[in-house]
Structure 1
Amino acid sequence: MGIYLSTPKTEKFSEDGENAKLKFGLSSMQGWRANMEDAHAALPDLNSSTSFFGVYDGHGGKVVAKFCAKYLHSQVLKNEGSSSGDLGASVQKAFFRMDEMMRGQRGWRELAILGDKINKFTGMIEGLIWSPKGGDSHDRQDEWAFEEGPHSDFPGPTSGSTACVAVIRNNQLIVANAGDSRCVISRKGQAYNLSKDHKPELEVERERILKAGGFIHAGRVNGSLNLARAIGDMEFKQNKFLPVEKQIVTANPDINTVELCDDDDFIVLACDGIWDCMSSQQLVDFIHEHINTETRLSAVCERVLDRCLAPSTAGGEGCDNMTMILVQFKKPLNKNTDCSESSAQAAASEAETK
């Protein structure tokens, strides 16, 4: 976690896209870290009525973040049939499903493919043997049905990832978060946090950790993990007498629902590499300063990454991997939508605005 390069890698992966209701830009940069452990997903047309955006900040390796970026969004749609159309419940199930999928035999093979060096080679060979014949595997998610529940011989990954996702359908925005990546909405230039950073010292997190048999030392769960919620990290999820949401570390996301209106400018999803350097309001102000002068939203994101990058590793802040997604809403969203008070303010107060 604390290993730095002698000079930062400032090359950026950037992307832009849009549909009839929104446009997005994103950028990610390795920075001073020895490895890039962030991943992301940006699907403006997950289906005909749904957009999906997610940032995943890996720790102890990149594979869990990459696994989430590859599969979490498809599980949201798959879960909808069993959730009576409750999109929030579908998203929540998708977070838990990541842990389940990674613990099976196919999950082991997929994690190997997403890994490096000899693991990647071995995983590719086994993955080819395991893969269903014919058709695109992306459209054959039911193949995971062979792996219901944990596989007895494989405990799952020993590393993990935060997950912060935004799902937009019609004028409804659903934000789900586990960890310390964050989603912020700008309404009339005011920043409202739509997610809460899950740190061990928070009372609700501390209480669960201690009841599950864990401890907190130097602000870290069992002295090692500085997050209270994450996907993966199976070593913190071994109590067979407790449900998944009550383990020392849980993948259980906070779910926040907002009714969008024409006062809403954009949302930002970013990993803590950004939030360590800028407050929510500072980032919203910076975006407003540049969003109308750049031709691409990804260029705005790139400016933020350059702004946050530390000149040296002496201070720690600005030395992390950085990933940011900026989603701008096209107007009018809905001429009948009431923008007075309500949703963003209420959702933000619930998420404890900073």
Structure 2
Amino acid sequence: MSAACLVRLARCSGPYVGRSGLLQTALVPVPLQQDSHLQFTVFKRQLYSPSEQRHSNTRFDPDSSGRPTTWDSFGIWDNRIDEPILLPPSIRYGKPIPKVSLSKVGCASLIGQRKENEDRFQVSQMTDNILYFAVFDGHGGPEAADFCEKYMEKFIKDLVAEESNLELVLTKAFLEVDKALAKHLHFSPNVPGMNAGTTATVALLRDSIELVVGSVGDSRAMLCRKGKALKLTVDHTPERKDEKERIKKAGGFITWNSLGQPNVNGRLAMTRSIGDFDLKNMGVIAEPETKRISLHHVHDAFLALTTDGVNFIMNSQEICNIINQCNDPKEAAQRISEQALQYGSEDNSTIIVVPFSAWGKHKSSDTSFSFSRSFVSSGRWA
């Protein structure tokens, strides 16, 4: 759809427009329409189960082939998530961009076999055009995860007001939160957990199209594109050659526990985290690795943020396949967290599932086995 057509639509609508309004605008005699003899019939929208074949609610069959022309023929989407179109971003980017609603996001967190749940997660509308998603997996106590849950969004929001580069915003926010946590623990001598730490995986979605992720530790972010898992984060573990060399250069050392898992100074199974201040001089840093990606709403089905209680027992493609079998993100989040425990995870299992416009479009039929399921996750402490 041309930007001129979107501008024309904006003059007649508010900041949002439904798909029916977009379709009617797209079908008037404008340059986008090539065949003037197209005939169409509008069918009533229905609900479908994951196993049923879905059809577009609008059918074009000019050559009597029986093959419908769907929304994708217009370069848009065809799914079961019916969201309004954001006009200002659509005009800015020159293509229809649907609104991503927090009400459809699925979240789940189970305690597993642990004495307490040290996982934390958060979903919010941070600014008018930025959504905030985060998971924190605490260790050595919940103090660090609690602090991040309470203050990370505030630090990011303050930085966004001055800096437009979201990757730079996340980097500064992680480092500032780490410093603030150190001060908090130092001036709160009665607070336990001086050596507590946490992973942090944060995703910012601006204008429903610009996705930026920052991460420390082994919590993950994954995008499902065309039914395939696209990893947006890489675990910070001593198994990574670059991370191991950085730890050794800082004066730290690597040991292996009885399950063959490497640990920094025999204690921590990750090389980056927020907190863990006794290991800061040994190379454990709070600086995140960041990634920026533009969503393709025709192909992108969902974003998933997971903690290691899920990751150590299920690989990314397996998570992607299971979610693709679910009717909605809330069901998907619950099923993944429960599945991890059934597979033998002893850790807290937490997941956030954010649906995009290709939700329900790509069905995964292939199976994917996670080798890590042969082991029971032992946590971060040797």
TM-score by shorter chain over 0.5: yes
Residue 308 of structure 1 corresponds to: 340
Q: What stretches of structure 2 of length at least 5 have no aligned partner?
A: 1-82, 85-98, 257-261, 360-382
SS at 2:176's partner residue?
helix
Q: What stretches of structure 1 of length at least 5 have no aligned partner?
A: 1-17, 120-155, 239-246, 312-316, 333-354
Q: Any residues of structure 2 matched to 1:36-185 within 5 Å, and which?
A: 36-43=117-124, 45-83=125-163, 85-105=164-184, 108-109=187-188, 157-170=194-207, 171-185=209-223
Within 2, Cα distance between the matches of 1:319 and 1:56? Answer: 17
What letter corresponds to residue 96 of structure 1 in structure 2?
L
Answer yes or no: is the 8 Å Cα contact 1:38–1:321 preserved in 2: yes
Does residue 289 in structure 1 map to residue 325 in structure 2? yes
Does residue 211 in structure 1 map to residue 249 in structure 2? yes
**Offset of residue 196 of structure 1:** 0.3
Residue 230 of structure 1 corresponds to: 273
SS at 1:237's partner residue?
helix
Answer yes or no: is the 8 Å Cα contact 2:300–2:358 preserved in 1: no
1:240-276 Cα deviation digits (max 9, x unpaired): xxxxxxx510111110000111211100000010011
Within 1, Cα distance between the matches of 2:135 and 2:272? Answer: 15
What letter corresponds to residue 114 of structure 2 in structure 1?
R
What letter corresponds to residue 35 of structure 1 in structure 2?
E
SS at 1:54's partner residue?
strand
What letter corresponds to residue 76 of structure 1 in structure 2?
I
Within 2, Cα distance between the matches of 1:257 and 1:222? Answer: 33
Q: Which moved more, 1:221-230 or 1:21-30?
A: 21-30
**Offset of residue 329 of structure 1:** 1.6
Residue 299 of structure 1 corresponds to: 331
SS at 2:111's partner residue?
strand
In the alignment, which of 104, 110, 113 is matched to residue 32 of structure 1?
113
SS at 1:47's partner residue?
coil
1:4-62 Cα deviation digits (max 9, x unpaired): xxxxxxxxxxxxxx99323311010101011111111111x111000010000001111
Aligned residues: 254
Q: Which moved more, 1:223-232 or 1:298-307?
A: 298-307
**Offset of residue 215 of structure 1:** 0.3
Does residue 318 in structure 1 map to residue 350 in structure 2? no
Q: TM-score normalised to the size of structure 1?
A: 0.68
In the alignment, which of 224, 227, 231 is matched to residue 193 of structure 1?
231
Residue 312 of structure 2 corresponds to: 276
In the alignment, which of 294, 297, 301 is matched to residue 265 of structure 1?
301
Within 2, Cα distance between the matches of 1:217 and 1:199? Answer: 12
**Offset of residue 72 of structure 1:** 0.7
Within 1, Cα distance between the matches of 2:255 and 2:172? Answer: 31
**Offset of residue 80 of structure 1:** 2.7
Q: Which runs of 4+ in 1 moved over 3 A?
A: 105-109
**Offset of residue 286 of structure 1:** 0.2
**Offset of residue 331 of structure 1:** 6.8
Answer yes or no: is the 8 Å Cα contact 2:182–2:275 preserved in 1: no
Within 2, Cα distance between the matches of 1:233 and 1:73? Answer: 21
1:199-235 Cα deviation digits (max 9, x unpaired): 1121110111001000001110001100111000001
Within 1, Cα distance between the matches of 2:154 and 2:358? Answer: 28
Identity %: 35
What letter corresponds to residue 270 of structure 1 in structure 2?
T
Answer yes or no: is the 8 Å Cα contact 1:32–1:320 preserved in 2: yes
**Offset of residue 81 of structure 1:** 4.2
SS at 1:177's partner residue?
strand
Q: TM-score normalised to the size of structure 2?
A: 0.63
Structure number with greater CO (CA < 8 Å, separation at least 6) is: 1
Within 2, Cα distance between the matches of 1:108 and 1:284? Answer: 44
Answer yes or no: is the 8 Å Cα contact 1:102–1:108 preserved in 2: no
Residue 14 of structure 1 corresponds to: none
Q: Relative to total residues, which structure has the larger strand share, 1 or 2?
A: 1
Q: Go from structure 1 to structure 2 and tell me whether the alpha carbon gap of 1:183 and 1:71 turns closer, same or farther (over 3 Å shift).
A: same
What letter corresponds to residue 278 of structure 2 in structure 1?
E
SS at 1:103's partner residue?
helix
1:127-164 Cα deviation digits (max 9, x unpaired): xxxxxxxxxxxxxxxxxxxxxxxxxxxxx931100001
Answer yes or no: is the 8 Å Cα contact 1:310–1:319 preserved in 2: no
What letter corresponds to residue 184 of structure 1 in structure 2?
M
- Find the structure with the greater CA-based Rg: 2
